[in-house]
Structure 1
């Protein structure tokens, strides 16, 4: 009984185990290779990186704005630079504005060619006006010649030393040996020209006939010669006679003689620089009797035209940049490239420039210059209109465009108005000897530097660029009045907006700083995501290992159960 019972029990157990083994074989078990672990990790990490992607998009948008602001900044800087020559109009030898540039014309009456008789150059700030000139004689240097020599290269056999010079100037000794030819003597003389101001040359008169010529390099002075030892070299060459005088004077030395506005003058040179300040006359030939040279010095208006043309080009470059930032798509929404669409700072700067252009100064407007807006609010210049007003009302153009500064005292002269002219009361102080000691505004003497009789506005103050000279000998308060023309106003707007402390730079700096902060966040998120990926890879590796281990165990159990079932 017991044996049967045990057999029955054993049979029952075997049947149950066989049934379980069949279930495992039929259902199957997942392995680690059937799971895309990489996709799981990527999905999890990407979820962490979503915020970084959003922030990176913001950074990219900010960078596009920075680039656009920098373009405006560059265009405005170019605009202000081009306007600097129109913004001031003080006339002196140091002035670089277009109103100080000068041009000169020469015409003639009578039987003389103006261009053959005179040339001239005029510096900035020279006084304008008309003058007349006659030239009695031009300055010349003495030129002498010797007698014919049969060769320029054969040794002459002379030995001696002589002294050579020009007028009362420096002299030098020239030594000649018996082996020296005519060319050698010429070379020896020219080696001393920087000291003597006498130059030698050889003229070939005909075949086998050579003559030495001595010329002074400065006008209105005679050549001075003396034999000091040995052979009398220049006498041997026929340049001097037995008395020591020059045998053949080709050209005598003489001073220039001329009249300017009826005043007779004499100079030892034909390059006249000391008659009219800033004007150089180059006398070329004498004028005939009854002939007159007519000289006219005026403002070089072509420079004004050129500066205004440059201004129009520069303004339109800025305006085109603004237009590009106002572009819309066909549905009326802002274009993707218009990253500054509706930007308040850009709009404010543009409005300031347009308002300045529409101002009236001295009763004139930009229309009087031939300037107008087209349908894009770009500028156009009618050069014909400009040419007319430059020839008929130059002073009006100067006032319309540039800064003007006047003083209430003739003893305070304006040297420079600067590009940011101010109106104020200047208190000048002098010592008991009448020497200028200080200049102040509202009791503040740190605004100006005094040097001799010059008063200069200090850099970093509102008076920077302004300069005056004071000829008085007593302390006094002087009213300084300044006005700003269109070019001055435009210059200040463009310069302020494009400066390193201007509104555009502030926006650029703020966006750059913001991007730096955002980039740090991106870096932090990416760093955390990288660490998270490492963590997941380690964690999932454990999962894979556990699954592989479970699968191995299952395989073993299945084999064991199958073995038991078979028996």
Structure 2
């Protein structure tokens, strides 16, 4: 930012320029004659008046710089507020132009659980679903949870004293593959734990835990009392721990974990698999977290259900997330609206308020118009009222949560139409993969295939050269209004297919706001850059003017100093003559 100010100081003029690139200062007091005489001429005042007059063009440039700085600050505020609104809109529409990404709020999924027959659904099961998975309802019973095998050592009198054992053991989970090293080769040594005679029970546990990623076994030391410490090994759910002695002392037997035959002496808990039922199909897994039964759905089992109990799992759209997104849109719009009002303010005298830096600004007016147009979008006679939104007397958005809740429960498809991009085709062989900001409301595509059914040509409203064929994809040609649009045609015959689109409230706002706020080539980014570049030119011009003013002030100072010197010399001569004449009396 650049700041230029002019300040009168006594009989001198001091001008200071603060800029990121240059600075210039002029002080007439540095050049004034500072004449002390009987002359009635105020040379400093004459110099000051002349310099101020000479400096007027520089002052006008300084004012332009100040005005630009104020505009830059306002445009930055505008960009930030519009960016917040864009963020809330992108939550609804998704951040990608791709329709296959499924990152819009209506593609997000939530699982709604209902206990049947007294089942405690909330504590028995957690279900998560990836975006875009099929909306469906399932019925589950949980018969058995997967558990880990836990085994304990014999009692040790201390957890920290040296035990005196030296040997190597191998730990793994039954049936597990041998881990591979960084070279991709199987490496059984990754399963091995080395114990030396200086290690305590706690240190042995720590050493075992350094291999957990490979072995699946974790170790803890339990202090039963001050003289009773035991090593407890815990494996992965659904399978048993395999311990073998590799060399040296049999560490498992020495610690009392295993007997002479290798069997565990004190099994605290046996391992078992999880057993549950989905829509009448019996399923078993080693883990209580299961993500391979239904594609995109993860079941986390926590508690079994009793006979006659079950849990209904409804995979549906995330209504709470959709509601939060609508609330966020209203809040971000109101924050922008509050600022925009300050840019249209009139003070008590009827003049433009000092804070209204962008009063009458074309860009502000245009974006306000586009936002209003987006919010007033109507699809099939439905608009913001369906969302429980309305304007108050100051054009802030008000939300009726009960109306929004009712619509979410009963008109969710209509809400999606009102907010997002939608399309329809006359033939299911055509689908849209990507959209752009200039999606046509209607379009007719003529497809031509060869004898083998491969797509070879396409016309858009009878015109060639607007789309290119890439296998089954039809891609808008760069430089045309269709750049960025991608279709896919799965048919194998010549066809004429009609295509229509609708851009809902959030979609239209997304396209408008993105046009202004894009950090690379948005209109606001370009406007701010233009003003900053203009200020750099102004600063250089200001410095040039001030160099001229400085030189002019110095010339005046020297000239008036010579005048003063001449007057003083004449006065001295006059005084001398008068003295001679008076001496004759």
CA distance in 2, matches of 1:44, 1:554: 31
Q: How far off its partner does 1:465 sit?
A: 6.8
Task: Give the SS at the match of 2:237.
Answer: coil
Q: 2:397 corresponds to which residue?
A: 379
Show the 5 A alignment for 1:515-554.
515=535, 519-554=539-574
Matched, 1:315 2:333: yes
Q: 1:324 corresponds to which residue?
A: 342
Does the C-alpha gap of structure 1 residues 305 and 228 become closer, same or farther in structure 2, counting only changes over 3 Å? closer
Does the C-alpha gap of structure 1 residues 227 and 62 become closer, same or farther in structure 2, counting only changes over 3 Å? closer
2:466–2:476 contact (8 Å) kept in structure 1 = no
Does the C-alpha gap of structure 1 residues 432 and 157 become closer, same or farther in structure 2, counting only changes over 3 Å? farther
Deviations for 1:23-82, whole angstroms, at most 9, x for unmatched residues? xxxxxxxx7633222222222222323344345444434443443344333322322222
Deviations for 1:153-206, whole angstroms, at most 9, x for unmatched residues? 788887776554321224645667788777676666555444333445566778
CA distance in 2, matches of 1:65, 1:160: 77
Does the C-alpha gap of structure 1 residues 241 and 427 become closer, same or farther in structure 2, counting only changes over 3 Å? farther
Does the C-alpha gap of structure 1 residues 447 and 504 become closer, same or farther in structure 2, counting only changes over 3 Å? farther
CA distance in 2, matches of 1:308, 1:395: 15
Show the 5 A alignment for 1:254-265.
254-265=272-283
1:88–1:419 contact (8 Å) kept in structure 2 = no
CA distance in 2, matches of 1:45, 1:189: 86
Q: How far off its partner does 1:297 sit?
A: 1.9
Does the C-alpha gap of structure 1 residues 524 and 485 become closer, same or farther in structure 2, counting only changes over 3 Å? same
CA distance in 2, matches of 1:177, 1:506: 70
Matched, 1:98 2:105: yes
Matched, 1:167 2:174: yes
Q: 2:8 corresponds to which residue?
A: none
Matched, 1:124 2:131: yes
Show the 5 A alignment for 1:47-196.
47-88=53-94, 94-144=101-151, 163-169=170-176, 170=178, 172-173=191-192, 192-196=211-215
CA distance in 1, matches of 2:54, 2:167: 104
Q: How far off its partner does 1:400 sit?
A: 0.1
Q: Which runs of 5+ in 1 are unaligned?
A: 1-30
Q: How far off its partner does 1:223 sit?
A: 3.2
| Larger mean Cα displacement after TM superposition, 314-323 or 471-480 | 471-480
| Larger mean Cα displacement after TM superposition, 390-399 or 519-528 | 519-528
Aligned residues: 532
CA distance in 2, matches of 1:232, 1:525: 93
Q: How far off its partner does 1:308 sit?
A: 1.8
CA distance in 2, matches of 1:57, 1:157: 86
RMSD of aligned Cα (Å): 4.3
- 2:313 alignment partner, one of 295, 300, 305: 295
Does the C-alpha gap of structure 1 residues 498 and 283 become closer, same or farther in structure 2, counting only changes over 3 Å? closer
Matched, 1:37 2:43: yes
Q: 1:284 corresponds to which residue?
A: 302
Q: 2:352 corresponds to which residue?
A: 334
Deviations for 1:379-423, whole angstroms, at most 9, x for unmatched residues? 111111111111110010000011123455545554554666456
Task: Give the SS at the match of 1:33.
Answer: coil
Task: Give the SS at the match of 2:127.
Answer: strand
Alignment TM-score, normalising by the size of structure 2 = 0.75
Q: Which runs of 5+ in 2 are unaligned?
A: 1-36, 179-187
CA distance in 1, matches of 2:349, 2:140: 74
Q: How far off its partner does 1:443 sit?
A: 5.4
CA distance in 2, matches of 1:92, 1:271: 31
Q: How far off its partner does 1:277 sit?
A: 2.4
Q: How far off its partner does 1:270 sit?
A: 1.6
Does the C-alpha gap of structure 1 residues 89 and 363 become closer, same or farther in structure 2, counting only changes over 3 Å? farther
2:466–2:480 contact (8 Å) kept in structure 1 = no
2:465–2:477 contact (8 Å) kept in structure 1 = no
Q: Kindly name which structure, 1 or 2, has the bigger radius of gyration based on alpha carbons.
A: 1
Show the 5 A alignment for 1:216-235.
216=235, 218-226=236-244, 234=252
Matched, 1:46 2:52: yes
Task: Give the SS at the match of 1:50.
Answer: helix
CA distance in 1, matches of 2:90, 2:450: 38
Does the C-alpha gap of structure 1 residues 446 and 161 become closer, same or farther in structure 2, counting only changes over 3 Å? same
- 2:288 alignment partner, one of 249, 252, 270: 270
CA distance in 2, matches of 1:249, 1:437: 70
Question: Greater helix share, 1 or 2?
Answer: 1
| Larger mean Cα displacement after TM superposition, 452-461 or 57-66 | 452-461
1:88–1:402 contact (8 Å) kept in structure 2 = no
Does the C-alpha gap of structure 1 residues 545 and 457 become closer, same or farther in structure 2, counting only changes over 3 Å? same
Q: 1:393 corresponds to which residue?
A: 411
| Larger mean Cα displacement after TM superposition, 355-364 or 324-333 | 324-333
CA distance in 2, matches of 1:185, 1:272: 33
2:163–2:199 contact (8 Å) kept in structure 1 = yes
CA distance in 2, matches of 1:97, 1:162: 52
